[in-house]
Protein backbone atom coordinates (compact mmCIF):
# COMPACT_ATOMS: atom_id res chain seq x y z
CA UNK A 1 0.00 0.00 0.00
CA UNK A 2 1.23 3.48 -0.92
CA UNK A 3 0.43 6.22 1.60
CA UNK A 4 -0.10 9.75 0.33
CA UNK A 5 -1.87 12.92 1.40
CA UNK A 6 -5.67 12.77 0.99
CA UNK A 7 -6.94 15.35 -1.52
CA UNK A 8 -10.42 16.65 -2.44
CA UNK A 9 -10.45 14.53 -5.60
CA UNK A 10 -10.48 11.44 -3.36
CA UNK A 11 -13.88 12.35 -1.95
CA UNK A 12 -16.06 10.12 -4.09
CA UNK A 13 -13.93 7.01 -3.53
CA UNK A 14 -13.53 7.82 0.16
CA UNK A 15 -17.28 8.19 0.58
CA UNK A 16 -17.85 4.80 -1.05
CA UNK A 17 -15.33 3.30 1.35
CA UNK A 18 -16.85 4.97 4.42
CA UNK A 19 -20.35 3.91 3.41
CA UNK A 20 -19.24 0.28 3.35
CA UNK A 21 -18.20 0.41 7.02
CA UNK A 22 -20.81 0.28 9.80
CA UNK A 23 -18.23 1.59 12.31
CA UNK A 24 -18.20 4.99 10.57
CA UNK A 25 -20.91 7.58 11.22
CA UNK A 26 -21.50 9.83 8.22
CA UNK A 27 -22.40 13.46 8.82
CA UNK A 28 -22.98 16.55 6.72
CA UNK A 29 -19.27 17.30 7.11
CA UNK A 30 -18.53 14.17 5.09
CA UNK A 31 -19.91 15.80 1.96
CA UNK A 32 -17.52 17.23 -0.62
CA UNK A 33 -17.53 20.78 0.74
CA UNK A 34 -17.04 19.53 4.28
CA UNK A 35 -14.06 17.42 3.34
CA UNK A 36 -12.50 20.29 1.37
CA UNK A 37 -12.91 22.61 4.35
CA UNK A 38 -11.37 20.06 6.69
CA UNK A 39 -8.37 19.43 4.42
CA UNK A 40 -7.83 23.16 3.96
CA UNK A 41 -7.86 23.72 7.71
CA UNK A 42 -5.50 20.80 8.36
CA UNK A 43 -3.16 20.77 5.36
CA UNK A 44 -1.04 17.71 4.71
CA UNK A 45 -2.29 15.64 7.63
CA UNK A 46 -5.06 13.39 6.29
CA UNK A 47 -4.01 10.27 4.48
CA UNK A 48 -5.04 8.01 1.63
CA UNK A 49 -3.83 4.44 1.17
CA UNK A 50 -3.68 3.14 -2.39
CA UNK A 51 -3.14 -0.30 -3.84
CA UNK A 52 -2.76 -0.46 -7.63
CA UNK A 53 -4.15 3.07 -7.89
CA UNK A 54 -7.32 2.22 -5.95
CA UNK A 55 -8.17 3.99 -2.69
CA UNK A 56 -8.32 1.28 -0.04
CA UNK A 57 -7.79 3.23 3.18
CA UNK A 58 -8.27 6.65 4.73
CA UNK A 59 -7.40 8.49 7.89
CA UNK A 60 -8.56 12.03 8.64
CA UNK A 61 -6.17 13.86 10.94
CA UNK A 62 -6.24 17.38 12.29
CA UNK A 63 -5.34 19.39 15.35
CA UNK A 64 -6.43 22.44 17.31
CA UNK A 65 -2.89 23.67 18.01
CA UNK A 66 -2.70 21.58 21.17
CA UNK A 67 -4.10 18.07 20.57
CA UNK A 68 -4.47 15.94 17.48
CA UNK A 69 -7.78 14.35 16.51
CA UNK A 70 -8.20 11.33 14.27
CA UNK A 71 -11.32 10.27 12.40
CA UNK A 72 -12.40 7.90 9.66
CA UNK A 73 -9.61 5.39 9.96
CA UNK A 74 -10.97 2.89 7.46
CA UNK A 75 -9.40 0.02 5.56
CA UNK A 76 -11.39 -1.75 2.84
CA UNK A 77 -12.67 -5.08 4.16
CA UNK A 78 -10.64 -7.16 1.69
CA UNK A 79 -7.43 -5.38 2.71
CA UNK A 80 -7.62 -5.76 6.47
CA UNK A 81 -5.10 -7.41 8.79
CA UNK A 82 -2.12 -6.44 6.63
CA UNK A 83 -0.97 -3.72 9.00
CA UNK A 84 -2.34 -0.92 6.79
CA UNK A 85 -4.24 0.87 9.57
CA UNK A 86 -1.18 0.74 11.79
CA UNK A 87 0.94 2.26 9.02
CA UNK A 88 -1.57 5.07 8.49
CA UNK A 89 -1.61 5.73 12.21
CA UNK A 90 2.19 5.89 12.38
CA UNK A 91 2.32 8.27 9.42
CA UNK A 92 -0.35 10.55 10.87
CA UNK A 93 1.46 10.61 14.22
CA UNK A 94 4.70 11.50 12.43
CA UNK A 95 3.05 14.34 10.51
CA UNK A 96 1.32 15.67 13.63
CA UNK A 97 4.62 15.54 15.48
CA UNK A 98 6.23 17.58 12.71
CA UNK A 99 3.63 20.26 13.46
CA UNK A 100 4.43 20.17 17.16
CA UNK A 101 1.53 17.95 18.23
CA UNK A 102 2.63 15.11 20.48
CA UNK A 103 -0.71 13.86 21.82
CA UNK A 104 -3.81 12.82 19.90
CA UNK A 105 -7.29 11.49 20.59
CA UNK A 106 -9.73 9.31 18.71
CA UNK A 107 -13.40 8.66 19.49
CA UNK A 108 -14.41 5.09 18.78
CA UNK A 109 -17.99 3.83 18.65
CA UNK A 110 -18.37 0.99 21.12
CA UNK A 111 -20.15 -1.14 18.53
CA UNK A 112 -17.32 -0.78 15.99
CA UNK A 113 -16.36 -4.43 16.30
CA UNK A 114 -13.06 -4.24 14.42
CA UNK A 115 -12.00 -0.85 15.70
CA UNK A 116 -12.12 -1.72 19.38
CA UNK A 117 -9.53 -4.54 19.20
CA UNK A 118 -7.42 -2.49 16.80
CA UNK A 119 -7.16 0.49 19.13
CA UNK A 120 -6.79 -1.76 22.15
CA UNK A 121 -3.71 -3.34 20.61
CA UNK A 122 -1.90 -0.16 19.57
CA UNK A 123 1.33 0.47 21.44
CA UNK A 124 1.50 4.03 22.76
CA UNK A 125 -2.29 4.34 22.95
CA UNK A 126 -4.46 3.77 26.01
CA UNK A 127 -8.19 3.49 26.54
CA UNK A 128 -9.41 6.37 28.74
CA UNK A 129 -11.79 5.52 31.56
CA UNK A 130 -11.41 8.91 33.21
CA UNK A 131 -13.14 10.95 30.52
CA UNK A 132 -16.82 11.14 29.60
CA UNK A 133 -17.53 12.66 26.20
CA UNK A 134 -20.33 15.23 25.84
CA UNK A 135 -21.29 16.50 22.42
CA UNK A 136 -23.63 19.19 21.15
CA UNK A 137 -26.89 17.96 19.66
CA UNK A 138 -26.48 19.16 16.12
CA UNK A 139 -29.44 20.41 14.13
CA UNK A 140 -28.84 17.90 11.35
CA UNK A 141 -29.00 14.89 13.67
CA UNK A 142 -30.62 11.95 11.90
CA UNK A 143 -30.57 13.03 8.27
CA UNK A 144 -27.43 14.35 6.65
CA UNK A 145 -26.16 15.19 3.20
CA UNK A 146 -23.18 13.08 2.28
CA UNK A 147 -23.36 13.26 -1.48
CA UNK A 148 -20.21 13.16 -3.57
CA UNK A 149 -19.37 16.32 -5.47
CA UNK A 150 -22.40 18.46 -6.11
CA UNK A 151 -24.87 15.54 -6.34
CA UNK A 152 -25.73 15.96 -2.67
CA UNK A 153 -27.97 12.91 -2.20
CA UNK A 154 -29.48 12.80 1.28
CA UNK A 155 -29.32 9.74 3.44
CA UNK A 156 -30.02 8.77 7.01
CA UNK A 157 -27.09 8.90 9.44
CA UNK A 158 -26.13 5.70 11.23
C1 LIG B 1 -10.21 -0.90 12.44
C2 LIG B 1 -9.55 -1.06 11.08
C3 LIG B 1 -9.20 0.31 10.52
C4 LIG B 1 -8.26 -1.87 11.23
O5 LIG B 1 -7.61 -1.94 9.97
P6 LIG B 1 -6.51 -3.05 9.63
O7 LIG B 1 -5.69 -2.56 8.48
O8 LIG B 1 -7.15 -4.37 9.46
O9 LIG B 1 -5.64 -3.08 10.96
P10 LIG B 1 -4.11 -3.62 11.08
O11 LIG B 1 -3.88 -4.70 10.09
O12 LIG B 1 -3.19 -2.44 11.02
O13 LIG B 1 -4.16 -4.21 12.55
C14 LIG B 1 -3.09 -4.04 13.46
C15 LIG B 1 -3.40 -4.89 14.67
O16 LIG B 1 -4.63 -4.47 15.28
C17 LIG B 1 -5.32 -5.63 15.79
N18 LIG B 1 -6.57 -5.82 15.06
C19 LIG B 1 -6.98 -5.15 13.95
N20 LIG B 1 -8.23 -5.56 13.59
C21 LIG B 1 -8.58 -6.51 14.48
C22 LIG B 1 -9.73 -7.33 14.62
N23 LIG B 1 -10.78 -7.24 13.76
N24 LIG B 1 -9.78 -8.22 15.64
C25 LIG B 1 -8.76 -8.31 16.50
N26 LIG B 1 -7.62 -7.56 16.41
C27 LIG B 1 -7.54 -6.68 15.42
C28 LIG B 1 -4.37 -6.82 15.58
O29 LIG B 1 -3.52 -6.90 16.72
C30 LIG B 1 -3.58 -6.35 14.37
O31 LIG B 1 -2.33 -7.01 14.25
P32 LIG B 1 -2.25 -8.50 13.62
O33 LIG B 1 -3.07 -8.52 12.37
O34 LIG B 1 -0.78 -8.69 13.39
O35 LIG B 1 -2.82 -9.43 14.67
C36 LIG B 1 -10.47 -1.80 10.07
O37 LIG B 1 -10.93 -2.99 10.67
C38 LIG B 1 -11.68 -1.01 9.65
O39 LIG B 1 -11.61 -0.25 8.67
N40 LIG B 1 -12.82 -1.18 10.36
C41 LIG B 1 -14.08 -0.51 9.99
C42 LIG B 1 -14.03 1.00 10.19
C43 LIG B 1 -13.80 1.38 11.63
O44 LIG B 1 -14.48 0.93 12.54
N45 LIG B 1 -12.79 2.27 11.80
C46 LIG B 1 -12.41 2.78 13.10
C47 LIG B 1 -12.84 4.19 13.29
S48 LIG B 1 -12.13 4.85 14.77
Q: How far is the CA of 151 from the centre of ligand 1 (A)?
A: 32
- DSSP, residue by residue, 74-90: EE-GGGTTSSHHHHHHH
Fold topology of 2-156: Aminopeptidase (3.40.630)
Q: Which atom of ligand 1 is nearest to the CA of 106?
A: 48
Asked if residue 106 has its Cβ within 6 Å of ligand 1, the reply is yes
pLDDT tens by residue, 67-79: 999 999 999 999 9
Q: Which atom of ligand 1 is nearest to the CA of 89?
A: 12
Asked if residue 75 has its Cβ within 6 Å of ligand 1, the reply is yes
Model-level pTM? 0.90
pLDDT tens by residue, 9-32: 999 999 999 999 877 889 899 999
Domain parsing of the chain, residue ranges = 2-156
Amino acid sequence: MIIRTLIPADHSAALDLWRSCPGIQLRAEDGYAGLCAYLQRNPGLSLAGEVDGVLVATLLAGHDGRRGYLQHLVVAPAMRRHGYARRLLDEAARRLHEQGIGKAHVFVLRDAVDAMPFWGSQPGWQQRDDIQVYSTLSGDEGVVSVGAGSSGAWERAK
